[in-house]
């Protein structure tokens, strides 16, 4: 069994430990965000997908507009902007990605309040942070991040809940058990493997809260299985990329609850992909009626939290296809655990 | 000859007309941005690539942090955030993309000052705008946007120049002639076509100001040639996707000036791609010494403006490969000129 596979299975415990340890930081989080007029995330790779999720959560739950920033504004261009009304959130699993460490220091110099989210206490990123929140995922040894990702997603959901009078607290308390349930459920990986076949490219699509996990699953497929997968919102797909479905390569879609305002768009995408001959794997939520999909059922959860469960089957698929194609998912070619950008 | 090809050739005139017509709006732009603490772009598809460019330009030139927003925050989630210190910029070539029109109206309701950038006077997007800036690209008939894209890029550069005491004015005044020069230069498309071969996927990479055009060229390749191209910053590539180069598929890179702080990263990417056996096509700027690339030379221009020239060979490559593969570049399957997101 791969290390990645073991770490996938540790996710329920990692989420549980993370949420338990955050409990005492609620007041500090409220104080940090008090009076903020904008939130800016600084992150790369998997952590940037946590930022993508955090953007939607804070903008819809916390009454403050959140967006993603480009680390090069800090590290390459040293942009002179006024950040005195901003909270800047740096996310780095290792806490050592130099450009994120530098981005937080840059933000602090420009007047921002700064928050670090990391899996490693006392790591360099915490030095430039007014407040540090830790995930408790334990040491992660496989290069593709899995348990640090879902723990950081849970931490972001907890931040959003903290800033909205605990609006997600009840569902968050159920999350570890639900993750355990998903990890134990049969997944029919052989069937999914056949659907993907020998594809060297595919599309993973979600929207809103789930766009983050669409991008994350696409990244796992790139890292582990060397499939050049695109992770895209289905709104963006309609603005051009939808044309590529005529090649008939697979679609992995992230389902939505039956009450999501985005459901029609998801179903339209599934219909378009099906018409183009693409096999469809849909993870969780509700698929378009009458369209054949490999449906991976998940427990019911509000759309705000569902992505944290949706990533699990995606990780398992990437690991399985890596092994089927003769790659070692734990050590993808050309990648290291701590990534530095030159 | 395709309509797309004619419209590519109209770009120098379109940029020239756009810049001439903006000249009288400088004071209004200064007033709109006065006191702004954040800038948020709302756009989709090709227009979102203009927004990506505008983000870097405004953040580095105008002293105000700019970022991209998600239209679904307005249209699907009706997020209740305070935008009274924001300028929100909506970009839509047609001025009729409903979700961008609605996003500007949402921003206005929440207290933002609003700016519309469009190619069509009196189009719906202008109704929710405190200020409208027009591109003068004329009617665009091919579905893949070309001249409306480069005109909107030039307009964004002009906005950044206006907010930084005319810092880019001199170079902007040379831009139409330089674009004319690039349009007239021989491009050796046959050689590039052979380098791309029968690839169904590839990577287009730039960073900073050029990330926008990397994403735009990738989109043209998707729309016209049905190649599932990824448009990525080379910093993001290192955080995972670089693994896919071991498949040996092509890299199109966007060159940088010899003084760019990002040059080392670009050259590292080119070395990694070359080692993995990927053919490399580099557009403009300076390539890594000793690495064989199909180099497309461009006139010298500061990194802030170079992307407006770099897109031109990218458009020509996409059009050529479309025709070589038997597709009609003017009318890609599944796409319409005005895209609506459901």
| A213-233 confidence digits (pLDDT tens) | 999 999 999 889 988 888 888
pLDDT band of A331, cuts 50, 70, 90: confident
Cβ <8 Å between A44 and B239: yes
Homologous superfamily of the A188-324 domain (CATH): Glucose-6-phosphate isomerase like protein; domain 1 (3.40.50.10490)
B339: nearest CA partner in chain A: A239
Architecture of the B3-182 domain? 3-Layer(aba) Sandwich (3.40)
Q: Which of B40, B48, B201 to mutate to test the interface with A (most CBs of A within 10 A)?
A: B201
Cβ <8 Å between B68 and A63: no
CA distance A259 to A65: 24
If you average pLDDT over residues B285-301, what whole number do you get?
94
Q: What is the pLDDT of residue B96?
A: 95
Q: What is the pLDDT of residue A235?
A: 78
Cβ <8 Å between B200 and A200: yes
User: Taking 70 as the threshold, does the pLDDT of residue A241 lie above it?
Assistant: no
> How far A208 CA lies from chain B's nearest CA (Å)?
7
Number of A–B residue contacts, CB under 8 Å:
226
Calculate what percentage of chain B has a pLDDT beyond 90. 84
Contacts A37 to B, Cβ<8 Å: 37-38, 82, 85
- The set of residues, in sequence order, having a beta carbon less than 8 Å from that of B98 and lying 6+ positions away, is B75, B124, B340, B341
- CA B325 from chain centre, in angstroms, equals 25
Q: Which of A214, A241, A269 to mutate to test the interface with B (most CBs of B within 10 A)?
A: A241
Q: What is the pLDDT of residue B226?
A: 86
> How far A198 CA lies from chain B's nearest CA (Å)?
13
Surface of B (2-21) touching A: CB under 8 A: none
If you average pLDDT over residues B181-205, what whole number do you get?
92
Q: What is the pLDDT of residue A18?
A: 98
φ, ψ dihedrals at B66, nearest 5°: -120, 145
Q: Which residues on neighbouring strands pair with residue A197, listed in sequence order? A: none
Q: What is the pLDDT of residue A337?
A: 67
What are the structural domain ranges in chain A?
Answer: 3-182, 188-324
| A9-27 confidence digits (pLDDT tens) | 999 999 999 999 999 999 9
User: Taking 60 as the threshold, does the pLDDT of residue B280 lie above it?
Assistant: yes
> How far B223 CA lies from chain A's nearest CA (Å)?
5
> Which is more confidently placed, A70 or B235?
A70
Q: Which residues on neighbouring strands pair with residue A134, listed in sequence order? A: A118
Contact of A129 with chain B, judged by CB distance below 8 Å, is answered with no
Name the residue among A256, A226, A232, A255 with its Cα closest to residue A244: A232
Check if A3-182 and A188-324 are the same fold.
Answer: yes
B221: nearest CA partner in chain A: A241
Nearest CB among A67, A201, A335 relative to B201 is that of A201
> Which is more confidently placed, A115 or A278?
A115
Q: What CA–CA distances, in Å, run from A147 to A12, A135, B47?
A: 8, 10, 36
Q: What CA–CA distances, in Å, run from B341 to A237, A259, B75, B313?
A: 9, 18, 10, 30
Name the residue among B170, B40, B71 with its Cα closest to residue A239: B71
User: Taking 70 as the threshold, does the pLDDT of residue A247 lie above it?
Assistant: no
B42: nearest CA partner in chain A: A67
CA distance A30 to A337: 33
> How far B288 CA lies from chain A's nearest CA (Å)?
14
CA distance B249 to B277: 8
Q: What is the pLDDT of residue B247?
A: 63
Contacts B42 to A, Cβ<8 Å: none
Q: Which of A35, A68, A201 to mutate to test the interface with B (most CBs of B within 10 A)?
A: A201
């Amino acid at each position: 069994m791969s290390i990645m596979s073991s770490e996938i299975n540790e996710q329920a415990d990692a989420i549980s430990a993370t949420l338990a340890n955050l409990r005492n930081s609620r007041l500090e989080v409220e104080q940090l965000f008090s009076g903020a007029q904008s939130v800016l995330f600084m992150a790369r790779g998997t952590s940037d997908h946590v930022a993508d999720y955090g953007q939607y959560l804070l903008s819809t739950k916390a009454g403050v507009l959140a967006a993603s920033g480009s680390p090069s504004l800090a590290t390459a261009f040293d942009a002179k902007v006024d950040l005195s009304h901003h909270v800047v959130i740096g996310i780095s699993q290792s806490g050592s990605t130099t450009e994120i460490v530098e981005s937080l220091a840059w933000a602090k110099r420009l007047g921002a309040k700064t928050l670090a989210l990391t899996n490693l206490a006392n790591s360099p990123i915490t030095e430039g942070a007014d407040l540090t929140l830790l995930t408790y995922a334990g040491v992660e040894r496989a290069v593709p991040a899995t348990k640090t990702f879902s723990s950081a997603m849970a931490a972001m959901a907890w931040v959003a809940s903290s800033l909205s009078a605990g609006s997600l607290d009840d569902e968050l308390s159920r999350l570890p058990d639900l993750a355990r349930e998903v990890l134990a459920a049969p997944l029919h990986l052989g069937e999914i493997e056949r659907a993907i076949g020998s594809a060297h490219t595919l599309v993973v699509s979600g929207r809103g809260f789930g766009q983050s996990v669409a991008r994350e699953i696409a990244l796992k497929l790139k890292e582990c299985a060397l499939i050049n997968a695109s992770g895209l919102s289905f709104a963006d797909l309609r603005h051009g990329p939808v044309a590529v479905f005529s090649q008939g390569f697979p679609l992995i879609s992230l389902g939505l609850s039956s009450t999501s305002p985005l459901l029609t768009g998801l179903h339209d995408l599934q219909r378009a992909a099906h018409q183009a001959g693409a096999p469809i794997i849909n993870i969780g939520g509700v698929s378009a009626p009458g369209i054949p999909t490999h449906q991976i059922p998940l427990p019911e959860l509000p759309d705000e939290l569902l992505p944290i469960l949706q990533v699990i089957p995606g990780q398992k698929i990437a690991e399985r296809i890596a092994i089927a194609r003769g790659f070692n998912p734990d050590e993808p070619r050309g990648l290291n655990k701590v990534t530095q950008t030159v």
